Structure 1
Amino acid sequence: MALLLLGLLGLLGLWVLLRAHTRGPRLAPRWPPGPRPLPLVGNLHLLRVCQQERSLMELSEQYGPVFTVHLGGQKTVVLTGYKAVREALVGTGQELADRPPIPIFQLIQGGRGIFFSSGPRWKAARQLAVRTLHGLGVGRGPVADKVLQELRCLVGQLDQYGGRPFPLALLGWAPSNITFTLLFGQRFDYQDPVFVSLLGLIDDVMVLLGTPGLQLFNIYPRLGALLQLHRPVLRKINEVRAILRALLEARRPPAPGGGPVHSYVDALRQQGQGGDPDGLFSEANVVACVLDMVMAGTETTAATLQWAALLMGRHPSVQDRVQEELDRVLGPGRPPQPADQRALPYTNAVLHEVQRFITLLPHVPRCTAGSTRLGGYLLPKGTPVVPLLSSVLLDKTQWETPDQFNPGHFLDADGHFVKREAFLPFSAGRRVCLGESLARTELFLLFAGLLQSFRLQPPPGLGPAGLRTVPTPAFTMRPPAQVLCAVPRPQGR
């Protein structure tokens, strides 16, 4: 009996050795350097609440382009500068394609949707969105026609002010309506109660997501839940969902297995009716995907167009050159077309510089899908990684005057438009913004059309320097609420 027991133990030991040999040696994680954490708070005492990205850029000067910070008890790796960020986003392939489980978005979406999901669910949702947007004409003539239609509506709305002050937020209506047209197959009148309610709720949600209370909730979710810090944003999200469900119900489901697709909602419904054995397009995920597209598709482009108008009022000499170029190339009465970008190098450079200068979305975290080598370090699976896009758009090694609004960043000595590799407002790699092509078309046509029709300037009694350009705390770096004047330009019509 003893011999049998010894034999079994020997076989067990041999099995363990064979398993260890076939798996190969396990390498211990090698973390980047970083500041020493304090108990409970980690390195939070080193980060300014409303300017975290600036604090992280300052830490990179001490610890290098790849470093570790402790957000409470969570070890997070931060990437700064063009070289480190691009190498990670493009060079690592699928290894940084996941999102970490951010507590507030886990509560809102439960791992569903497009932007904060991971794995097969994310891949399926993203592929469908890309395929559908292309089918609806994004990047081609059909969507450009929709944008120009919305431009006419926006110009008509501004004409009603007759050059008197209008709220800057009004400029966000046009890009938001373009998003709704693609999502639901219909545009809204600017006074439609559904349109007004939806934009108001989106605005509330974006502001709440940027509050210190929500940041605290994401770092200490149990404490945040105890203090009910998440309740206000969840209430607003539920109101948005109610409107979205009503719009979904109003869209007649397409015929099973085919039929024309006139909107993103049509594509989602059709996908859920067949060819979905894993349930990736269940009703809950359909609502989650639409919610993601509504929030992201309205906020980013709308805020960028507002920034562009504000910066033109702040820099009248730049606006002069844009309007001179528009008048010379387009002449009176002809609206801009996507093909005009080549012939409008200064206008194109100004619009690119707006996006670089404002750093609208400083960072959205990624997560290692497995053990990942990054910048000479070995990170374990599940490590949150922050590619700091603001550090790329403000990289001193890539831009001559990174902290100044300077359209010359995108022009050569002869005044021709120049592409810059460090221009990454839409991120890069597998998680690059899926609406990039749509946003580029919208911004160019709406910006050029606005400056063709109006002179944008501060309200009476206020000079250009009086316009406020310090971002308002929100999920994005949105411009502060204020008014501008849109004075009609007869030569542009």
Structure 2
Amino acid sequence: MKASPRTVRDLIEDISSETEGSSELKLHEQYGSVYTLYFGSAPNIVICGYEAVKEALVDQNDDFGARGELPVGEITKGYGISMSNGERWRIMRTFTFKTLRDFGFGNMEWKIQEEVRCVVQELRKCQGRPLNPSKHVMQAFSNILCSILFGDRYDYSDAKFSKLLYIVKEIFWLASSPCCQVHSILPTLMNCIPGPHHKVITLSEELAEFVTKIVKSCQQTLEPSKPRHFVDCFLIKIEKEKNDPNTEFTRKNLMCIVHNLFLAGIETLSCTLRHALLIFLKYPEIEAKLHEEIDRVVGRDRIPNMDDKLKMPYTQAVIHEVQRFCDIAPFNVPHMTTKDTLFRGYSIPKGTNVYFLLCTVHRDPTQFATPYKFNPNHFLDDNGKFKKNDANMPFSAGKRTCPGQGVARMELFIFLTTILQNFKLTSNREFSEDDLAPKFTGFLNTPIQYELSFIPR
């Protein structure tokens, strides 16, 4: 495989560039869709473009289905979902999918609707004053996750809840810092060097303490015949399999799954919604079309629900285009080959880290007519009906897709439609195309910091 002298950060910054003429096409021309990057002396395979990524993640998913090494993710030590492999990963993932499904969309839909009502009330209190939406958005998505996992939501002024948000936000900030990025490339060296990258472990331990207290409380009020939430279901499985020495249903796995879901599910959704609001400020004509569809299908007298979604093709298209355009996780999380693998004529040894650049999928000109422009028509057919596009991979693809994607899609739909049902968005600032372009910071593409006003309709 051809080897590139670039560092991984150089690569991602180039590929995430919104410049027309697309850096990834130049990289494809120079290196092809498969090439090698060296992090120190360690070779890492990079796979780019929709066809190559699909071929690996979907068509050869067994070969590329293991989780690769990522030092910042090693705090869970191979437990939970995100960084586990083998039978443990299969059991934990199956349980998580099944539990979320068995609780039913109706139950989760109600929790999401309850939270978005609280957000709308908070925004109305601001009386149209300009504000940065980051705090409101993060509080809301964190509360939904708390409801799903623990059965309770928190008041936004609750001190424990504020501490939880601080921990999650700080972990993400540190993981995106230069020290942690270098740690990902040179882990052995950075393990011996003092720096803020070590604080991630301390904060993760604080998160574990927070969850441990809640789990103990849940256990004291648990009724095995009436599970109330995710933690109850897991505790019931722990009790059922307590005499099995090989069981994966342990406190350690429970703690790590909750840790994984908090870190994967809050900041990504928060960034996506903030991207969406920014896009609507830049393109008020898109917001106006969304208002029209929401008023026609839902009206103003009830909160939107998931039954409305199929009657709202333009809203669906906009949400999918937001996810494509903002490209939240351009680098994805590393995979690893499960065996010696032949891919596109190249031999990749077992245990090799493989990076799938989702940014090259979401900006693939063979799949999207205007890859560097926000364009809802990417997801609409000639009759204005919603059309799916498999090249949109905000939750990755294959075996390692995000287990919470169903809930995440529900949250985005209900939040965006309810906010626009109640408010018109305005800002004193005019935004440029460059302002809209995703900004790569560590692991995520994040929007710029901005203020807007929520004007009641």
Paired residues of 2:69 and 2:353 also in contact (CA < 8 A): no
Partner of 2:333: 364
In 2: Cα distance, 1:253 partner to 1:368 partner: 43
| Structure-2 change in CA distance of 1:342 and 1:72 (3 Å) | same
Describe the shift of the 1:330–1:472 C-alpha distance in structure 2 as closer, same or farther (beyond 3 A): same
Select which of 283, 300, 304 maps to 2:268: 300
Distance 1:46 1:227, change over 3 A: closer
Distance 1:44 1:247 in 2: 42
> Which of 62, 68, 76 is the equivalent residue of 1:109?
76
Is 1:338 the counterpart of 2:324? The answer is: no
Deviation at 1:329, TM superposition (A): 2.1
The alignment partner of 1:78 has SS state of strand
Q: Deviation per CA, 1:117-147: give whole Å up to 9, x if none.
A: 111111111111111111221xx22211111
Could you say if the C-alpha distance between residues 179 and 445 of structure 1 is closer, same or farther in structure 2, counting changes exceeding 3 Å?
A: same
User: 1:326 corresponds to which residue?
Assistant: 294
Alignment of 1:405-416 (within 5 A): 405-416=374-385
Question: What's the counterpart of residue 190 of structure 2?
Answer: 224
**1:480 CA drift (Å):** 2.8
> Match of 1:82, as an amino acid?
Y
Alpha-carbon contact 2:328-2:446 (below 8 Å) kept: yes
SS of corresponding position for 2:286: helix
Q: In 2, distance between residues paired with 1:46 and 1:259?
A: 51
User: Which residue does the alignment assign to 2:322?
Assistant: 354
Q: Counterpart of 1:218 in 2: which secondary structure?
A: helix
Contact 1:207-1:475 within 8 A present in 2 as well = no
How far apart, CA to CA, are the structure 1 residues paired with 2:171 and 2:165? 10
> Which position in structure 2 is the counterpart of 1:273?
239
Contact 2:141 2:266 in 1 (8 A): yes
Helix, strand or coil: the match of 1:207?
A: helix
**Could you tell me which amino acid in structure 2 is paired with residue 44 of structure 1?**
T
- Secondary structure, counterpart of 1:47 in structure 2: helix
2 CA distance for matches of 1:416 and 1:476? Answer: 31
Equivalent of 1:133, from 100, 107, 127?
A: 100
Q: Matched residues in 1 for 2:327 and 2:140: separation?
A: 22
For residue 95 of structure 1, give the secondary structure of its aligned residue in structure 2: coil
Q: Deviations over 1:217-275 (max 9, x none)?
A: 1221222122223222222222222211122222125769x422211111222222232
Aligned-residue sequence identity (percent) comes to: 35
Gaps of 5+ in 2: 18-22
Alignment of 1:307-456 (within 5 A): 307-362=275-330, 363-456=332-425
Q: Is the 8 A contact 2:395 2:402 kept in 1?
A: yes
* 2-structure distance, mates of 1:439, 1:104: 24
SS of corresponding position for 2:454: strand
Tell me if the contact between 1:113 and 1:285 (Cα under 8 Å) persists in the aligned partners: yes
Aligned to 1:205: 171
- 1:9 maps to which residue? none
Query: Which amino acid in structure 1 is aligned with residue 200 of structure 2?
Result: V
Structure-2 separation of matches of 1:284 and 1:127: 17
Supply the distance in 2 between the matched residues of 1:224 and 1:439 (Cα, whole angstroms): 35
8 A Cα contact 2:47 2:356, kept in partner: yes
* Pair 1:145 & 2:88 matched: no
SS in structure 2 at match of 1:463: coil
RMSD: 2.1
* Structure 1 position 475, deviation (Å): 2.8
Letter in 2 for 1:446: F
Change (3 A) 1:407 1:53: closer
Partner SS, residue 402 of structure 2 = coil
SS at structure 2 position matched to 1:373:
strand
Q: CA deviation at 1:216?
A: 0.8
What does residue 196 of structure 1 align with? Answer: 162
Partner residue, 1:29 = none
Deviation at 1:411, TM superposition (A): 1.1
TM-score, normalised via structure 2 length: 0.92
2:59 aligned residue (91, 95, 110): 91
Letter in 2 for 1:247: I
Q: Residues 190 and 474 of structure 1: is their aligned pair in 2 closer, same or farther, counting only changes over 3 Å?
A: farther
Aligned length: 446
The 1:253/1:434 distance shift into structure 2, 3 A limit, reads: farther
Contact 1:60 1:67 in 2 (8 A): no
Task: Give a deviation string over 1:368-394, Cα, whole Å, max 9, x none.
Answer: 011112122221100111111111111
- Pick from 81, 85, 96 the counterpart of residue 118 of structure 1: 85
Cα offset for 1:78? 0.9
Deviations 1:27-85 (A, max 9, x none): xxxxx2233x5xxxxx4288257557567764333111111121221111111111000
Contact 1:158 1:486 in 2 (8 A): yes
CA 211–283 in structure 1, closer or farther in 2 if over 3 Å, else same: same
Partner of 1:40: none
> 2:9 and 2:125 mapped to 1: Cα distance?
49
Separation in structure 2 between the aligned mates of residue 467 and residue 448 of structure 1, nearest angstrom: 26
What secondary structure is seen at the aligned counterpart in 2 of 1:76? strand
Kindly indicate whether the alpha-carbon contact (under 8 Å) linking 2:48 and 2:356 is maintained by their aligned counterparts in 1: yes
Residues 49 and 301 of structure 1: CA distance in aligned 2, closer, same or farther (over 3 Å): closer
Structure 1 unpaired stretches of 5+: 1-31, 38-42
Q: What is the aligned partner in structure 2 of residue 66 from structure 1? A: 34
In the TM superposition, what whole-angstrom CA distance separates every residue of 1:443-468 from its partner, at most 9, and x where no partner exists?
Answer: 1111011111001121x3x2244994
Counterpart-to-counterpart distance in 2, 1:218 and 1:364: 12
Task: Find the aligned partners of 2:357 and 2:342 in 1 and give their Cα distance.
Answer: 18
**TM-superposed deviation, 1:282:** 2.4
SS in 2 for 1:167: coil
1:200-221 C-alpha deviation (Å, 9 max, x unpaired): 2111111111122111112212
